[in-house]
Amino acid sequence: MQRCISFLLVAAVHAAKRLQIKGTQIIDPNTNQPVVLSGVNWWAGYFQSDDGKDLSIALPHNNVVRLVGIYWDSGSSNDCKTNDKSQGYLDPKCVKHLENAIRAAQRHNIWVILTARAPQAAGDGYPNDVFHNS
């Protein structure tokens, strides 16, 4: 039982902070104050380790990046889809790449919105898209 409690405490300490929505406001959980998001897109395929630093220097008032990082069954050379159920059908290289980009943003207090580029998730392929395929 003690190991379980210790694990839960560790998990709580390392839980990702998330912006909160209260009515029409976006609330920063660190300050409990409203925040206005302003930022840019990062494409995982072009991400470099200094991008967080570069963004904070070039656009110091930006506080969010929209990280387009999971290409799913898109036919691109950066496709993250695999047939390996044990890996959650995601290529581990893609997951590692996303983790690196998120950490680069976090080091500079930049929020991250993860975005997937997936034709079927966007409704392509009816009736075999995610909205209709069992």
pTM here is 0.68
53-81 pLDDT, tens digit each? 998 999 999 999 988 777 766 666 667 88
Residue 7 has pLDDT above 50, yes or no: no
Phi-psi region of 41 (alpha: psi -120 to 50; beta: other; left: phi over 0): beta
Q: Which residues pair with residue 102 across a beta bridge?
A: none
Token pair belonging to 119 = 């034709």
Residue 121 pLDDT grade (very low, low, confident, very high; cuts 50, 70, 90): low
What is the structure's pLDDT at 119?
66
The pLDDT of 122-133, averaged and rounded, is 68
